[in-house]
Structure 1
């Protein structure tokens, strides 16, 4: 990563790497907050006097807020300076976290979660665009991967540590910690992130036109199915490892860490490969993802093979993140923030669809054994879409010779 300096309006030099680390911290805080209630449903339900399923709405409601709130707010703030946008919605996110910390009832807690979720999508979208704009030419993928590593660290460390702290100190404490992290990121960004130029005078109609073109919608579908394949199986990885592989609960925690280490490696490698050859990096990563999940159908019966496959699966699953973000920004035209926010919504929609498909497979005749295979087929759908878009098609229903060429 470059240590080239940029200058704030007042002339103070700032290293680009430092700016990217601040954006990574913001991603870590927001990503941890999204996952936090999953490990604290029992104490939250007991303390607020609701059922476990009702407490689960803290997760579902947050996801819906990300999917639908982010794009709407992105349209409403389309002309706002990028640094102002980051500061504003980090403040909104922190306010939601404070609300959760001080919640006197389940209703107040849910309201705080929804407030935070509305900031989630637009923050992630703006951070991805800022990371691209801060990067040196030809290193955009690595820059996006760097800030994306905040999310993988949130999965590996943030959520588990938050669960532990919540169990030891009460479920409110992790929300307080998230608030403090968001505040630190806000102060750092306010002081050290430069005022990043953005296109002026882009009308709402032009932005909507940019994100409604077939080439752009195709990329969103690739995101939905590419990420959906991962979550179709990963949502149920614990019962697979316990009931099929025969691992204990404590061993599963270690194996999930192995997945997380693989995801960090894959995220960084995917960013570097995307800078060199974007489409081969994306399609190759999805192929590896589909193969690793299909193989897990058989390797899950053997402990050593299962661990190796989970590691490869983690590498593949996150190797496609930076390429997908870069492809979306390439297709976005002047609607960079809106496009990136829509892609975050597509990621979350993929999570929901994948988990739903995996659940339906478990309830069917093949049952739990078939979940990895079904997940692989979901990812294969994304591969077909990506290949179809990459091959010049002279006469197709969309009237384009190549969906990736305008």
Structure 2
């Protein structure tokens, strides 16, 4: 019996309540991850450290997600998923409380690391749970719904947190995140049905699955797909100000346009992935590569730049539900560990993309070349996706479909 069958008798109301609670959790975690980016100056001033040192609050968090998520997910073993969700959300809350009360930079960084260790496992568990809670044939929509919490954290949560921090002190947003997460925890403990872990897979067996070349290839698609987005998006503000000629106030509005596009792309990508997974992934990756390449030229025109940014947002987030579903379809009995590894791949892609963009800016190519280089990074993701499909077809021809795509995704 699969986990999804265990949930077949759930009422639509309880199913939706559970998904909303998971979405709220994703929103809180996503907002917390981004908070220091808008509060570097006040944090640096109060804690008496340099801005570059304060930036470790972002870098340290990302490393905690990449390293801690897979390790802790594996150590959690076969504990019921509801238990794991509750425990790790509690750990995340403890980290946020430490950040709120931290009297020094060292304790603030420690609080960030504590929260980051829970981040990867929580996201991985939430994606798998969203898939299991979905009605048959609507897994992509369910994953897209909880994923929208991350999108809203980018376009609303982080800016609002920055605003609160600037007027009420940088600790106040961390307190709000703590309270919001506590509310989500209480709701999950009360409303989420019992969630057993995937059956039949020992830790050794799960490690065998996630170390397979074809599975690692899917993780590379995630790294380069998201890496392309963040190679460009990390530096979109200086591009819009210095090349396009927008004011800083106008850039804020344009970022909301990107956010609106990403929300639409996430919803559309989830719906389309339920019908045709592989074509949805390829379509999104191609649109992403093209939109960023076009932005190299459209960034010289204000109207064209706004249109390009919107399409860029749609494309960037349309691939996320498809990537999550692809990983789960390849994971067999390693659903939770595989999903957590994919979250680590997302974060690694973000870090690599931002690093590549920085190298381009410091090179003779300069700021104007960032969009087309970002497009090239995504093209690598497309090549890897083609390779993955070829390997899958060869495996089917050889009659060795150990972890094939579902029929509807072919």
Q: TM-score, normalised by structure 1?
A: 0.95
Deviation readout 1:188-227 (Å, 9 max, x if unpaired)? 0000010123323521100101101122111100000000
Partner of 2:256: 257
Give yes or no for contact 1:259–1:311 (8 Å, CA) kept in 2: yes
Partner of 2:208: 209
TM-fit CA distance, 1:6: 6.7
| Residue correspondence of structure 1 range 327-366 to structure 2 within 5 A | 327-366=326-365
Gaps of 5+ in 1: none
CA distance in 2, matches of 1:366, 1:183: 47
Partner of 1:98: 97
CA distance in 2, matches of 1:401, 1:370: 44
Partner of 1:140: 139
Q: In 2 relative to 1, CA 63–394 (structure 1 residues): closer, same or farther, beyond 3 Å?
A: closer
Partner of 1:21: 20
Where 1:391 maps in the other structure, the secondary structure is helix
CA distance in 2, matches of 1:195, 1:126: 13
Partner of 1:64: 63
CA distance in 1, matches of 2:220, 2:152: 26
Q: In 2 relative to 1, CA 401–77 (structure 1 residues): closer, same or farther, beyond 3 Å?
A: closer
Partner of 2:319: 320
Give yes or no for contact 2:331–2:403 (8 Å, CA) kept in 1: no
Give yes or no for contact 1:7–1:194 (8 Å, CA) kept in 2: no
TM-fit CA distance, 1:55: 0.5
| Residue correspondence of structure 1 range 300-315 to structure 2 within 5 A | 300-315=299-314
CA distance in 2, matches of 1:386, 1:220: 10
Where 1:272 maps in the other structure, the secondary structure is helix
Q: 1 or 2, which has the higher helix percentage?
A: 2
Partner of 2:43: 44
TM-fit CA distance, 1:366: 1.5
Partner of 1:79: 78
Gaps of 5+ in 2: 1-6, 406-410
Where 1:15 maps in the other structure, the secondary structure is helix
Give yes or no for contact 1:232–1:351 (8 Å, CA) kept in 2: yes
Give yes or no for contact 2:332–2:403 (8 Å, CA) kept in 1: no
Work out the number of aligned pairs and report it: 397
Partner of 2:3: none
Q: In 2 relative to 1, CA 392–26 (structure 1 residues): closer, same or farther, beyond 3 Å?
A: closer
CA distance in 2, matches of 1:403, 1:51: 52
Give yes or no for contact 1:97–1:116 (8 Å, CA) kept in 2: yes
TM-fit CA distance, 1:403: 10
Deviation readout 1:247-305 (Å, 9 max, x if unpaired)? 00000000000000000000000000000000000010000000000000000000000
* 1:156 and 2:142 aligned: no
Give yes or no for contact 1:391–1:402 (8 Å, CA) kept in 2: no
CA distance in 1, matches of 2:370, 2:171: 35
CA distance in 2, matches of 1:6, 1:322: 22
Give yes or no for contact 1:394–1:401 (8 Å, CA) kept in 2: no
Q: In 2 relative to 1, CA 101–392 (structure 1 residues): closer, same or farther, beyond 3 Å?
A: closer
CA distance in 1, matches of 2:394, 2:86: 47
Where 2:177 maps in the other structure, the secondary structure is helix
CA distance in 1, matches of 2:73, 2:14: 28
Give yes or no for contact 2:8–2:135 (8 Å, CA) kept in 1: no
Partner of 2:224: 225
CA distance in 1, matches of 2:102, 2:400: 55
TM-fit CA distance, 1:391: 2.6
TM-fit CA distance, 1:404: 7.4
TM-fit CA distance, 1:402: 8.6
Q: TM-score, normalised by structure 2?
A: 0.94
Q: In 2 relative to 1, CA 15–288 (structure 1 residues): closer, same or farther, beyond 3 Å?
A: same
CA distance in 2, matches of 1:401, 1:379: 30
CA distance in 1, matches of 2:403, 2:288: 22
Q: In 2 relative to 1, CA 6–170 (structure 1 residues): closer, same or farther, beyond 3 Å?
A: farther
CA distance in 2, matches of 1:61, 1:175: 17
Where 1:137 maps in the other structure, the secondary structure is coil
TM-fit CA distance, 1:78: 2.0
TM-fit CA distance, 1:405: 3.9
